[in-house]
Amino acid sequence: MTDLTELGVKAIRDGVASGDFTAREVAESFNANVAAAQDALNAFIVATPEKALEAADAVDAARARGDTLGKLAGVPIGMKDLFATKGVQTTAASHILEGFVPEYESTVSANLWRAGAGMLGKLNLDQFAMGSSNETSYFGNVISPWRKEGSNAGLAPGGSSGGSSAAVAARLCPAATGTDTGGSIRQPAAFTGISGIKPTYGRCSRWGIVAFASSLDQAGPMVRDVTDCAIMLEAMAGFDPKDSTSLDLPVPEWEAGLDPDLRGKKVGIPREYRMDGTDAAILKSWDDGIAWLRDAGAEIVDVSLPHTKYALPAYYIVAPAEASSNLARYDGVRYGLRELPQGANLQEMYAATRAAGFGDEVKRRIMIGTYVLSAGFYDAYYNQAQRVRTLISNDFKAAFEQCDVILAPTTPTASFPLGDKVDDPLAMYLNDVFAVPASLAGLPAMSVPAGLNADGLPLGLQIIGRAFDEQGVLNAGLAIESRAGFDARPKRWW
């Protein structure tokens, strides 16, 4: 029998439906991979093999009865530990939520279980989704399954969804959920040679997802190819009355609409994205992507996004401001960690709990956010950043009058060694320079693998689309995927 862990979402779903193998056989195979890699990769905070088997047995029983199977029937997945899962610890990779077991299920995870998916476990991430290398987790950093040629140094899997990216790339799961606030699906996907899409803001419900920056957070899938992105996103998306920002729109049939033929389409190339400090290999992959899309029938046009250079500064005002407000709820009173020094009053308990419960990066962002929201600085910083955000959104609107999708690099470099940037926040933040603009504008954007650099590490290309046009983004991604022929995978060392 084919090694079932080599199969992606579509192959597993179709194989289970046709009786080529059982859902239990799939779950058992991935459970074994999760257990074997845990010490080496640290991709999961909690493994839930029993949940995967329980869902698999339900699918097998439904097939035996002749019932209609769900879109993800028989597919075991990894769940980023930012999604509330009823009866299973949900920590946001923090000490302050360690041991917190929700009594409710997030809307996205409930949608996935309803579609027939099973849970292999809760995936590691940067603490409260704040980070670009998965080094801020209270439970230890995730290690990428990739290695630079000739080196055994551990590499960053990207962040904040580093557990998700590492697990998919290492064949610990065929698919995983991610969240993207300023690139946290796309950057880790690019670092590990997988595909990931951030849909239009509001496509996937935020209800039951631990909040970082509420006007930016958006869930999306991380998988091995574009087709699997379409399948997963169909199952995750949908209107949710519990989320006031949820889009009350029908979920398109993205899988059925996949088409790599781009004749009649225009692809914009933003001149401002050719930035100093971008690796030559990244720029070459971008040129390759332009040639591939031209070969697919698209017309290539130059576009301008003039406020791009202000996107990162604006993001690092807006996101910390919203984080400082969202994280005020963690005070040791109702749930989570409580530090109560002898004789302490309520204010001292708050301070002790938050000092012990939050990591350095989270504290940094809370302090920045509190500062920019304080009296006297609100107009100078937060309001100004929101005005810049509007200008960036208007830039995209103007660009999309000239093109259908935009092609750009996902990241300025390939993955870097763990520890290289952890003490330099500004260098770490620059990882998201190409990803943040689409997040500020709430647009759908995905990363697809484009090839390897001279060190044998994956490089990603980013496609950005108009609001609600995930289909156009997926189709352009499919055109790149079919021409790039990317089939590299990490050499197993774990």
Half-sphere exposure (Cβ direction) of 246: Cα atoms closer than 13 Å: 19
Is 363 marked active-site? no
Longest dimension (CA), the chain: 72
% of the chain at pLDDT higher than 70: 100
Q: For the CA atoms of 210, 212, 213, 217, what is the dihedral angle to 10 degrees?
A: -60
Helix (H, G, I), strand (E, B) or coil at 53: helix
Active-site entry in 10, 51, 71, 80: 80
Residues 6+ apart with CB under 8 A from 284: none
Residue 449 burial (C-beta neighbours within 10 Å; 0-12, 13-18, 19+): buried
Reported as a single tens digit per residue, the pLDDT across 70-116 is 999 999 999 999 999 999 999 999 999 999 999 999 999 999 999 99
Position 276 scores a pLDDT of 85
Distances (CA, A) of 57 to 74, 100, 118, 244, 363: 9, 28, 10, 36, 44
Calculate mean pLDDT across residues 258-282: 96
Position 414 scores a pLDDT of 97
% of the chain at pLDDT higher than 90: 97
Position 1 scores a pLDDT of 54
Query: Could you give phi then psi for residue 57, rounded to 5 degrees?
Result: -65, -35
Query: Which residue, 243, 175, 239, is CA-closest to 208?
Result: 243
Position 34 scores a pLDDT of 98
Please, are residues 270 and 291 in contact by the beta-carbon 8 Å criterion? no
Active-site entry in 161, 164, 165, 184: 184
Beta strand 405-409 with 266-270 is parallel
Query: Could you give phi then psi for residue 231, rounded to 5 degrees?
Result: -65, -50
Beta strand 118-123 with 299-303 is unpaired
Distances (CA, A) of 112 to 6, 183, 238: 21, 23, 11
Residue 92 CA to residue 408 CA, distance in Å, equals 30
Q: Report whether pLDDT(351) > 70.
A: yes
Please, are residues 79 and 123 in contact by the beta-carbon 8 Å criterion? yes
Residue 152 CA to residue 156 CA, distance in Å, equals 13
Residue 455 CA to residue 457 CA, distance in Å, equals 6
Reported as a single tens digit per residue, the pLDDT across 423-434 is 888 889 988 999
Is 160 marked active-site? yes
Q: Report whether pLDDT(391) > 80.
A: yes
Reported as a single tens digit per residue, the pLDDT across 324-345 is 999 999 999 988 999 999 999 9
Calculate mean pLDDT across residues 243-258: 98
Residue 234 CA to residue 225 CA, distance in Å, equals 15
Q: Where do the domains of the chain lie, and which CATH numbers do they carry? A: 4-261 (3.90.1300.10)
Residue 64 CA to residue 484 CA, distance in Å, equals 40
Residues 6+ apart with CB under 8 A from 66: none
Residue 56 CA to residue 30 CA, distance in Å, equals 12
Calculate mean pLDDT across residues 378-404: 97
Reported as a single tens digit per residue, the pLDDT across 439-455 is 999 999 999 999 999 99
Calculate mean pLDDT across residues 375-389: 95
Is 266 marked active-site? no
Angle subtended at Cα 253 by Cα 251 and Cα 254, rounded to the nearest 5 degrees: 105
Query: Which residue, 266, 414, 369, 381, is CA-closest to 314?
Result: 381
Active-site entry in 106, 137, 160, 161: 160
Residue 314 CA to residue 284 CA, distance in Å, equals 29
Q: Report whether pLDDT(144) > 80.
A: yes
Helix (H, G, I), strand (E, B) or coil at 80: strand
Q: Report whether pLDDT(218) > 70.
A: yes
Q: Report whether pLDDT(313) > 80.
A: yes
H helices present in 193-271, as ranges? 226-236
